[in-house]
Amino acid sequence: MPVPAPTAADTALCPNCGQPVSASAAFCEACGATLVPTEPAVSEPPAPTEGSAQTRRLGVRQSQVTTCSSCGGTIDADGYCQVCGAKAPSARDHYSETPADWVGGVCDRGVQHSRNEDAMALWAAGDRAVLVVCDGVSTSVDSDAASTAAAQAIRDVLVERLAQLSDPGQAATELAAAFVDAAAAANAAVIAVTSPNSTNAASATLAAAVVLGAEVHFANLGDSRVYFLSAADPVLLSLDDSMAQAFIARGMDRAEAEALPRAHAITKWLGRDATDIVPRTGVHTAAEPGWVVVCSDGLWNYASAPAELAAQLAAAGSESDDPVAVAAKLVEWANAQGGRDNITVALARCPAPAMPTNLESATPWVPEVEEQVENG
């Protein structure tokens, strides 16, 4: 192996004759004088930082977790198990929501990330539901705070606008406008939790769906996604704002584009430095029963194409059609593939069971597959 040439930091001058000598030499090669080797300067490592107040608040270990996952003992106020001494995970590392028996989701830290920067916010009443998933951009400061603030703001705006919806015939127009307003509210919420001194402003993606009877109204900004998976035609409803999607639009195969080194570089996001916060919107009418899936890239990384994700949904729903149980199985599967990112999966049956329907069945579809798709 070649040895790099010595630099000025590696040499010194002999105090007796003034000739250059190695900083670690015991004797001067020119005059033979005894030298006192100098100790190399050692820089102290920077003290570990705990992030801003928002990060400390969201990631604090003294959380709602009260039972030790290792031994079943009680977690004390200091965040450690009274029995085995293990530190409790943050409640934000893994949580679920189930506002109705046909709507639910799971948000998980994954395997390789040190904290969960995803967030979700769900709501349901009657035959209506709101599903929101936001993915904090890992390279930004306080991305976990950003995603949480954004998800809650979007849900709240959409719930309010649903309450004001009087004419179902105008739902597409009114909800498209509501999504734009929700994104603006989310952007303001993200900025509100961003330190004014931050040189890398907090940012996040958004994906949202409103289930209104047999209709799925959806919006996205960034690369979190909305799918509708049914027996006849599983479909990806949203369109990523990413470098991969830019290459797909030019004709590149999806699998090839999503394998590019910069595939996950997003071109739109929420945050103080965002230049375009208007989401794409659309509406899809279910011709047969299926599942609405709103997820972060921690899931679809391993099953991007609708047919691939449908196969994983089939496996996840083989034992139970409970949305939280199905979502948990999908999260477990993604973690088994490597869990390279945070994973969030929000699900809703569509049409909603509460909706009077003339469709053949409102039972959630679980396709039969001969072979499970392997990814990762």
CATH of the domain at 326: 3.60.40.10
Same domain for 156 and 69, yes or no, is no
Same domain for 139 and 84, yes or no, is no
Instruction: Kindly report, residue by residue over 47-82, the tens digit of the pLDDT.
Output: 333 345 444 444 443 345 667 766 778 877 767 788
153 φ/ψ sector (left φ>0, alpha ψ -120 to 50, else beta): alpha
Same domain for 80 and 175, yes or no, is no
* For the ranges 51-65, 213-227, 230-244, the one whose mean pLDDT is highest: 213-227
Same domain for 121 and 85, yes or no, is no
Q: Does residue 366 sit within a domain?
A: no
Pairwise pLDDT comparison (279 vs 89), residue with the higher score: 279
Same domain for 243 and 207, yes or no, is yes
Same domain for 84 and 158, yes or no, is no
Query: Do the Cβ atoms of 187 and 274 come closer than 8 Å?
Result: yes
Query: What's the structural domain count of the chain?
Result: 2
pLDDT at 39: 37
pLDDT at 71: 76
Q: Does residue 21 sit within a domain?
A: no
Query: Do the Cβ atoms of 310 and 296 come closer than 8 Å?
Result: no
Same domain for 78 and 157, yes or no, is no
Give the residue from 46, 67, 89 where a domain finishes: 89
* Alpha carbon distance 218, 227 (integer Å): 9
Q: Does residue 132 sit within a domain?
A: yes
Instruction: Kindly report, residue by residue over 334-369, the tens digit of the pLDDT.
Output: 999 999 999 999 999 999 875 544 443 334 434 333
Place of tokens 């659309």: 282
Give 221: exposed, middle or buried? Use CB within 10 Å, 0-12, 13-18, 19+: buried
pLDDT of 189 over the 50 cut: yes
Same domain for 339 and 321, yes or no, is yes
Range of the domain at 74: 57-89
Q: Does residue 210 sit within a domain?
A: yes
pLDDT at 22: 56
Q: How confident is residue 279, by pLDDT bands cut at 50, 70 and 90?
A: very high
